[in-house]
Amino acid sequence: MSEDLATVSTITDEAKVREIVGEPIPIVQNKEMPQLDNYCRQFIEMSPFLCLGTVGADGHIDMSPRGDPPGFVQVLDDHTLLIPDRQGNQRVDSMVNIMENPNIGLIFFLPGVAETLRIRGRASITDDAKLLTPLALNGKTPKLGFLIAIDQVFFQCAKALIRSRLWDPATPIDRSEFPPFAQITRDQRRPDAKIEDIQAIIDHNYTNELY
């Protein structure tokens, strides 16, 4: 397949892309805002899930999911957000990237709503107890958080989620159709381990180490 890709036609000129795709209508072209409005605030305050995009000094991009009960992202003002960093895998890929390159992208999801909210901005890492204490859950205050200075915000239309039927209750797969994470971990990284032992570690982590 890699040999076949060597001869694939690619496009490197924006004018050619525009010739194929066309121009956006004015309401789409001009939808970006430099700060949050009431609709953006409400969406963020209701959202339980987002994806954080960062890029390191080497140009490699990382996309990290972040989730908590609705409203876990604190709106400090119309230009600033605070995202708690909950207990994870300790890789800190996003944080390292942000210290190398503060430019980030966010996309917020709201279950049952097909539109999404996109934000472009600059991030920094904070350990300020006064900011982080109000974000405590289960009696545990996050040790770190992401401060987001908003540069651009806009709503994304629903076409992708409509086509994917992401929130359609009739579309979730039967969980037995895809291998469990313990099996994947064993096959990819620990071929000498037993699946049930890995599953026990995963279960403990998901039950006791969310916060």
Of 108, 123, 26, give the one whose Cα is nearest residue 68: 108
Assessment of whether the complete model's pTM goes beyond 0.85: yes
> What does the block give as tokens for 159?
């076409």
Is a pLDDT exceeding 70 seen at residue 29?
A: yes
Domain residue ranges in the chain: 25-164, 175-208
Residue 1's pLDDT band (cuts 50, 70, 90): low
Per-residue pLDDT reduced to its tens digit, 101-160: 999 999 999 999 999 999 999 999 999 999 999 999 999 999 999 999 999 999 999 999
Is a pLDDT exceeding 80 seen at residue 90?
A: yes
Residue 42's pLDDT band (cuts 50, 70, 90): very high
| Domain 25-164: CATH class, spelled out | mainly beta
For range 169-185, the mean pLDDT: 94
